[in-house]
Amino acid sequence: MHVDSTAISEIDYDPERAKLLVRFASGERYVYVGVPDEIHRSFVEADSKGRYFQLHVRDRYPFNKLDS
């Protein structure tokens, strides 16, 4: 889903696999594994997506960079 943020352009979530997909404004895409649904929902609803990402996702879950 496209989001209104200067740092992040898309956030998608696979609840069956607890995978959070993030596309940054730069176009880079990452998948974060083991992310609870409540983190995903709070991320989508956050006033500042970039700040929420820094505080609650980055460096807290294993991730892989995807080919753009």
Question: Tokens for 36?
Answer: 């609870």
At 68, the amino acid letter reads: S
Flag whether 47 is in a domain.
yes
Inside any domain, residue 44: yes
Measured distance CA(19)–CA(14) in Å, rounded: 5
Q: Could you tell me if 43 and 50 are in contact, meaning their C-beta atoms sit under 8 angstroms apart?
A: no
Which is it for the CA torsion 48, 59, 23, 28, positive or negative? Answer: positive
| Total number of domains constituting the chain | 1
Q: List, for residues 3-41, the tens digit of each pLDDT value.
A: 999 999 999 999 999 999 999 999 999 999 999 999 999
- Residue 1 domain-assigned? no
Distance CA 63, CA 60 (A): 9
> Is 3 within the bounds of a domain?
no
pLDDT by residue (tens digit) across 49-58? 999 999 999 9
Residue 39's domain spans which residues?
A: 8-66
Specify if 45 maps to a domain.
yes
61 located within any domain: yes
Handedness of CA 36, 13, 61, 24 (dihedral sign): negative
- The answer to the question of residue 52 being in a domain is yes
**pTM for the whole thing?**
0.93
